[in-house]
Structures are given as structure tokens and as C-alpha cells.
Amino acid sequence: MLDLTLTEIAEALQGELVITDDAARAGWTPETVVNGTVDTDSRLIGTGDVFVAKRGEFDDGHRFVGAAVAAGAALVVVEHAFAAEEGRALAVPQVVVADSVLALGAFATEVVARVRASGDLKIVGITGSNGKTTTKNLLRAVLERVGETVAPRDSFNNEVGAPLTMLKLTAGSRFLVAEMGASGKGEITRLIRMAKPDVGVVLTVGLAHAGEFGGIETTLATKTEMVQDLEPDDVAVLNIDDPRVAGMAGKTRAEVLWFGLSDAAAVRATEIDATASGTTFVLHLPDGSSKPVRFAVLGEHHVMNALAAAASAHVLGVPIDEIVAALETVTRAERWRMEVMGGKDGVRVINDAYNASPDSMAAALKTLALIARPEQRTIAVLGEMSELGPFSVEEHDRIGRMIVRFNIHKLVVVGEGARAIHLAAEHEGSWGGEAIFVDTADEAFDLIAADTRADDLILVKSSNSAGLRFLGDRIAQANSIAQPDPTGGAAS
């Protein structure tokens, strides 16, 4: 974070600075400078950091103020002061605000504005129904080769996660990669107004979170927010192969840079070849340059994310050699996203159970079918795709039928929320042990453990809420290659 005095922070948050007698005796004054990391998780607080006490659905961060101070917090942002008469006086300053989440956003807005004013910060905003985190990771890998780059950890892309990322900016930061998700209209606009992008990327518009949004049209309107506030000298990086995204070109004043597989895309991939070790393709940029890429991230669908990252980097002046070199260093999209594990007796587990939508589920199944050798058995272990609302049964049914058409050899469906996958697969002709339904991940593990054969290729896929990412880890661990004993087996 930038160096800011306590007074400057309080003003940015529109809050009241409280320095108790205990804090004053400890040496704190309104002009004391704070520059530590800002977080809402007291477990991540260290010496000099700022703890924001946020009320959540299941807990209240105010309960952990004491733990944050004990861990070394230099400042706490709270919705009520911890007063001496309550027996809870703090020996660190407090900024008291009306709403901690809104204050966090205001804090981020101030820091972004200061870094912009004093340096040459460029901001890339990324949204889409699928691929945000992968694209963010790929673009970070590229931009880090050029200058100091700030990007979110995991999928920090909401009204809390996005500002926490923005608050990591320093005076020397050259790039901010902001992943911008939403569960309703107006949320992307709110994030953009904290940190307006110079480059706005829209990947896809699909049924992910359709239940929360209320339908595909609301999803489209929400994702379009990414490009509506862009200025004429900004750039909208749009997926020409997604008709809904392509339609956004008429909703923005910014220059449009198309990416995709279409010949009309200025940033495109040709000669795509997907295998079990990754995907090769030739990257083409608008300046006429082209270069082959050996992309280790599994799944042909991730080529689109690589194109989006390459397009954004090109806008920011990164040459093709640097772009390709960076893309080739990335070996996985993210933890639990098309992560290849295992190895014992040739068994491979593709753990892709961090998130799932109809589009990403179809892409993962296509990858499973595409990369398997002719003699190799394929197994899909699938759980629920959450947040689909009224589309849930229909979309799970579609996936079940798709599995049979892809000729996946064995299907294990886990949990009542995904039962429609199993029913559809059976209806399509998958029976006699080819399609099995179980209630729990433990049952699925026992079933897979008892039936795994040499060279099996196993996909584990579900939404995060279904918890199958841990099942994928268990299956992979049971089939992992044992590491040699570094002591040579000697007694210790």
C-alpha cells in the first residue's frame, strides 16, 4: 500500500479517526504513516497491516479485532469504536466508519487515484462468465516481465476482493490487473468506478450464475458494464466468437480489439493442437507478427483466455516474444482448474472442481474426450453446477446427454443437485455400470478407488460449493507416484 498518514486514511474513508489514550501513549499520532497490507481476514494480518472489520453472512469481523491487533495490526477500520469503558480499549488507532465494505471501496478508490496521479499506472479490467481467473493469471505472467504488476490472488473479484487487490498498489506499480465479477446489475460498474480500466476485457457471456442474475439477458447487461464507461482512448478487448460479447462493440466509445479463432479477429490462434500435455497454436497479433506457442495449460478452451491476455498485453506495448515466453511458463490455470495430478501406473486425474458452469463443464468434457488415447479409459466424476436457478435441471440434463455423445466410458455423479446428469445419461443409453449415482464424495472415492485401472484418465468437475475439488485431490493422492526417500530409507 502507499504511505498514508492516519489522517489521510480517515479522510479517504470518510470516517472518524480515534486514537485512545493507550494508543497515544504507544506513540500514535494523526500524522503517523501506515503502509501495510489491508485485509479483512485477521489470520492474514501481520506487523504494520490494516485490518478492516467486515460484517459477513455468517460472522462479524469485529469479533476478531483483538486478534488482529495481537498479530501486529497498525490500524483497525471498524463500524463502532472500541471504547475504554467497555474494557476493550485498543493501543492502536481506529477509523470508525458507517459501513466497512463501502469504506474499503473508498479506500481503494483513493489509492488508485494517487498512484495514477503520480505514476504511469495502466489498469486492465477482466470480466466474463468463464475464464476470468485464468486470463488474469496469464496476463499477470506477461506483465510481470515488463514492470511491477498487481493482480488478485485466487478469485478476488467482488466488492471486497477487488478493492483488497487495488490496495496492494505501490508508487512503483505499473500495471493493475483487476478481475471483476458480479452477482447482479451495477456491481461491475461499482468496481470500475474504483479503478476505471484503460483496457476492458470481456471473455464470454453464458449461464454461469444465471440463477442469481435472473436470466441470460440480465447477465449480458451486467457484463456490458465493463465497456460502457470506457473512454475513446481506451480499448475494449472483445471475444468475436461469442455473439453476445461481439454485440458490445456497439455499446462502447472505446476502440475495439477483437480476439478469437475467427479470421476476422485481430488477435487469433491458428494450427491448434490439443494433447494431454497441453496445446500448441500459432499466435497472430494485429501488427502482422506471429509466433508458435507451446501452451502447457490443459484444454483447448484455455487458448481463448491466452488470446485475451495476449491482446491486452499487446495494447500495453508488450512485444510478441515476451508474450509467448510468458505464456509458455504457465503450467496450470489455477489450483483446482484443469490441474493434472496423479501418475501411478499412468493414471491421470484432471481436477477442475473449483467452479463449474454449463460452458466450462462442456469444455472440460470435450477436453477429456479429445486428449484421451484410443485405448485409454475415460471417467468423469461430476457434481452440481450451482447458481443456475430455473435453468438447473435443463442444463444438468444437457451435460448428461453430452457425456454419452462424447463416449466417456464411465460416469460417476455425486450429490442430489447433480442427479439430472445421471438420469439424462441413462436415458441416452448409458447403463450397466457406465453411469452411477452416489450421494457423497466419500462414496465416490470408494467407488473410484476400487475400480481404477492403469492408464485411466479421470476428470473431476463441479462447482466450488459441491466440494469435489477435495475429492479430486484424494483420488490423485491415491494414484500419485511415490517420491523417493531422500534418506535412502535409513533409520533416523
CATH number of 275's domain: 3.40.1190.10
CATH number of 382's domain: 3.90.190.20
138-170: pLDDT as tens digits: 999 999 999 999 998 766 778 898 999 999 999
DSSP 94-119: EEE-S-HHHHHHHHHHHHHHHHHHHS
Is the domain of 91 the same as that of 128? Answer: no
Contact call for residues 128 and 202 (beta carbons, < 8 A): yes
Range of the domain at 41: 4-102
Is residue 349 assigned to a domain? yes
Q: What angle (nearest 5°) sits at the alpha carbon of residue 26, between those of residues 24 and 29?
A: 45
**Domains held by the chain: number:** 3
310-367: pLDDT as tens digits: 999 999 999 999 999 999 999 877 777 788 888 889 999 999 998 888 989 999 999 9
Q: Which residues contact 164 (CB under 8 A, 6 or more apart)?
A: 38, 39, 40, 104, 108, 152, 156
Is the domain of 258 the same as that of 347? Answer: no
30-54: pLDDT as tens digits: 999 999 999 999 999 999 999 999 9
Angle between helices 216-228 and 187-194 (to 10 degrees): 20
- Give the pLDDT score at 484: 37
449-478: pLDDT as tens digits: 999 999 999 999 999 888 899 999 999 988
Percent of all residues in the chain with a pLDDT value above 90, rounded to a whole number: 72
Is the domain of 313 the same as that of 354? Answer: no
* Domain limit, last residue, from 276, 292, 327: 327
Binding residues: 128-134
User: Which grid coordinates are listed for 10?
Assistant: 480517515
Contact call for residues 22 and 90 (beta carbons, < 8 A): yes
Is residue 107 assigned to a domain? no
Is residue 150 assigned to a domain? yes
**Closest-CA residue to 396 (of 406, 405, 384):** 384
Give the model's confidence band at 433: pLDDT under 50 very low, under 70 low, under 90 confident, else very high: confident
Is the domain of 366 the same as that of 428? Answer: yes
- Give the pLDDT score at 489: 37
Give the model's confidence band at 210: pLDDT under 50 very low, under 70 low, under 90 confident, else very high: low
- Give the pLDDT score at 483: 40
Is the domain of 236 the same as that of 202? Answer: yes
Is residue 108 assigned to a domain? no
The 8-class DSSP code of residue 21 comes to H
Is the domain of 321 the same as that of 343? Answer: no
Is the domain of 173 the same as that of 322? Answer: yes
Binding residues for ATP: 128-134
* Domain limit, last residue, from 42, 71, 102: 102
Is residue 180 assigned to a domain? yes
CATH number of 87's domain: 3.40.1390.10
Is residue 12 assigned to a domain? yes
Is the domain of 229 the same as that of 159? Answer: yes
Is residue 235 assigned to a domain? yes
Is residue 491 assigned to a domain? no
Is the domain of 96 the same as that of 218? Answer: no
Helices within 247-346 (DSSP H only): 302-315, 320-327
Q: Judge whether residue 82 has pLDDT over 90.
A: no
The CA distance from 260 to 307, in Å, is: 7
220-240: pLDDT as tens digits: 999 999 999 899 999 999 999
* Domain limit, last residue, from 48, 77, 102: 102
Is the domain of 314 the same as that of 228? Answer: yes
Is the domain of 129 the same as that of 236? Answer: yes
Is the domain of 269 the same as that of 176? Answer: yes
